[in-house]
Amino acid sequence: MDKTTPRNTLLAEMREGKSLQWDIIIIGGGITGAGVLREAVRRGYRALLIEQQDFSWGTSSRSSKMVHGGLRYLASGDIKLTKHSLQERERLLQEAPGLVDRIAFYFALGKGNFPGRFALTVILTIYDFLARIRDHRYCNNSVLKTRFPGVDTSNLKGACYYTDAMVDDSRLVLRVLQESIAEGGQALNYCKVSKLLIEDNKVAGVTMDSGQGESIDLRAPVVINATGAWADRLRKELNPETRVRPLRGSHLIIPRHLCPLVDVLTTLHPQDKRGVYVYPWEGTTVIGTTDLDHDEDLDIEASISESEIQYLIEAYNTVFSKAPISNKDIISTWAGVRPVIGSEGARDPSKERRDHATWSDNGLITVSGGKLTTFRLIALDALEAAQSKLPPAKIFADDRVFTAPDTSAESLSPANPQWGQRMLGRYGSAAKTLLADASETKRQPIGDTEFCLAECRWAARHESVQHLDDLLLRRTRLGMCLANGGEEIFPALEDICRAELGWNTQQWQDELKRYQDIWQRFYYSPQ
């Protein structure tokens, strides 16, 4: 059943020879591509985003979920990146409360480890100064024991407290796309750019595979390559140099009851003294991250290795030695590939810079690298690089990424305003319609998470869901936060997918098998 959706309508127009000419074509549906689309649309450009998989399928759904300035970037002397990141952090906290929320960090001070209390206090003082806040202090071991039940403080000398922010990274991408589409932008998932169109030795557009055995030529004076870790692959059609160094960061998810946290604990790994975070996320507890070169095929989803699992377990068990965990305690895992701009020589992955870069090759603008936090600034740099090929931009007064919702959290959910704020942060003004159309049963939280079935139905109806993994791993994170990939809600999801996506029994079974294979291979621990 081919339901009428904005996605299907646009593809139908293209098949009829319409909607083939654009001002800007953006390749890549992660946070960078979404940010470019947002900024292009507000400037009045006719812009199209094309993603070969699902929106946020790659790095942008597999980050550490932190909107932060990067304490270690400051420690290494990268003041500019840290300042920009902190300013964008504060902007996002103001614009999207409920999606981007401030959270307490405690950096455990190990006996004999660097940095010590004095050095870290100096760093945090500068950190807060750049953010234009004052929110740091020293805490002794008794405070640590209170904030982190079960923590072993025998080798600790207290901790330094500061704040940063957390986010559902995939939902951030969807929210930015939502804002762009509301103002006239277009976005297609599961459509692949198979080649660049070259005319007079310049990029003049792309050839797109719609996923249904057809190729469609789309034209634009500006094509922006925002494919992240994949950037070199597309760029090699014009320039053979390699600039992106793919680095893998992996995480473990364990049940909240094993380590019930409301704050983030940073501890130094006993092997290499790298910082490892233990933190709350969507009703679970997360342990991460690693930082390794990723030499696997980028078209295959990244997955955690057994050695990474043991590395993270060791970090956790060192600081929570009274209640150690093992492989059997893992609910799920995730691994993301960071597109880092490589330096000359074989530099330690953790010491590579995290800022972004743009290149222009015969009309192809490539942007890669950077941080989740600074996606708006990355987008602005990409558009600046393309400006000579575009007509003058529309004048606008409001530069906010997110439109303020037209209702309050208290009005949306009088009994639980905090949850109401969460829904407004994730869906904007659409949250009102989402909840108004849902029964009380469909609004109830699922397991230990704050997700509900009403969100699943909304996503299936409005957010270009093509596969079951879109729904369970990116529109919501239920497949990562519930046991066995969320099998307890499969019957309810079958009803939703039948009603909203028109799936019959065979389609549901095929999608369920596809999803379970993906989850077992890429979101669970190797045996």
Per residue in 120-161, pLDDT (tens digit) is 999 999 999 999 999 999 999 999 999 999 999 999 999 999
pLDDT at residue number 331: 97
430 vs 76, more confident: 430
Q: Do the beta carbons of residue 96 and residue 429 sit within 8 Å?
A: no
Judge if 178 and 30 occupy the same domain: yes
Tell me: cis bond preceding 115? Omega within 30 of 0 counts: yes
pLDDT at residue number 387: 95
pLDDT digits (tens, 9 = 90+) for 197-218: 999 999 999 999 998 889 999 9
Which residues are paired to 186 by β-bridges?
A: 48
Q: Judge whether 179 lies within some domain.
A: yes
Token pair 């696997």 is found at 296
pLDDT at residue number 136: 96
- Residue 506: CB atoms within 10 Å: 8
Q: Judge whether 75 lies within some domain.
A: no
The contacts of residue 40 (CB under 8 Å, 6+ apart) are 23, 24, 26, 47, 185, 379, 383
Instruction: Reply yes or no on whether the pLDDT at 118 is more than 60.
Output: yes
Instruction: Reply yes or no on whether the pLDDT at 428 is more than 90.
Output: yes
Report pTM: 0.96
- Pairing type for strands 364-369 and 222-225 reads parallel
Judge if 224 and 295 occupy the same domain: no
pLDDT at residue number 353: 58
Residue 1's pLDDT band (boundaries 50, 70, 90)? very low
Q: Judge whether 79 lies within some domain.
A: no
Judge if 112 and 136 occupy the same domain: yes
Mean pLDDT for the chain? 94
Q: Judge whether 405 lies within some domain.
A: no
Q: Judge whether 412 lies within some domain.
A: no
Lowest mean pLDDT among 264-278, 339-353, 483-497: 339-353
Q: Judge whether 96 lies within some domain.
A: no
Secondary structure class of 165 (helix, strand, coil): strand
480 vs 344, more confident: 480
Dihedral (Cα; 16, 22, 26, 29), 10-degree rounding: -50
CATH number, domain containing residue 234: 3.50.50.60
Pick the last residue of a domain from 285, 315, 344. 344
pLDDT at residue number 344: 47
- Name the domain count of the chain: 3
- Residue 272: CB atoms within 10 Å: 11
Lowest mean pLDDT among 1-15, 220-234, 464-478: 1-15
Judge if 255 and 161 occupy the same domain: yes
* Region 386-414 average pLDDT: 95
Judge if 201 and 155 occupy the same domain: no
Judge if 108 and 142 occupy the same domain: yes
Q: Judge whether 147 lies within some domain.
A: yes
Which structural domain, as residue segments, surrounds residue 517? 437-522
Instruction: Reply yes or no on whether the pLDDT at 117 is more than 70.
Output: yes
Q: Which helix (H) or strand (E) holds 459?
A: helix 453-462
Judge if 274 and 147 occupy the same domain: yes
Judge if 157 and 175 occupy the same domain: no
The C-alpha atoms of residue 82 and residue 127 are separated, in whole angstroms, by 8
Judge if 254 and 330 occupy the same domain: yes
Instruction: Reply yes or no on whether the pLDDT at 471 is more than 80.
Output: yes
pLDDT digits (tens, 9 = 90+) for 42-82: 999 999 999 999 999 999 999 999 999 888 888 778 888 89
Tokens of residue 39, six digits: 């900024």
Pick the last residue of a domain from 344, 376, 406. 344
Q: Which helix (H) or strand (E) holds 432?
A: helix 430-436
Instruction: Reply yes or no on whether the pLDDT at 347 is more than 70.
Output: no
Judge if 185 and 142 occupy the same domain: no
pLDDT digits (tens, 9 = 90+) for 247-264: 999 999 999 999 999 999
Judge if 492 and 441 occupy the same domain: yes
Q: Judge whether 403 lies within some domain.
A: no
Q: Do the beta carbons of residue 427 and residue 175 sit within 8 Å?
A: yes
Instruction: Reply yes or no on whether the pLDDT at 474 is more than 70.
Output: yes
pLDDT digits (tens, 9 = 90+) for 171-201: 999 999 999 999 999 999 999 999 999 999 9
Judge if 332 and 183 occupy the same domain: no
Instruction: Reply yes or no on whether the pLDDT at 342 is more than 80.
Output: no
Instruction: Reply yes or no on whether the pLDDT at 5 is more than 60.
Output: yes
Pick the last residue of a domain from 344, 379, 405. 344
pLDDT digits (tens, 9 = 90+) for 513-525: 999 999 999 999 7
Provide the 8-state DSSP code for 335.
E
pLDDT at residue number 343: 57
Instruction: Reply yes or no on whether the pLDDT at 346 is more than 60.
Output: no
CATH number, domain containing residue 149: 3.30.9.10
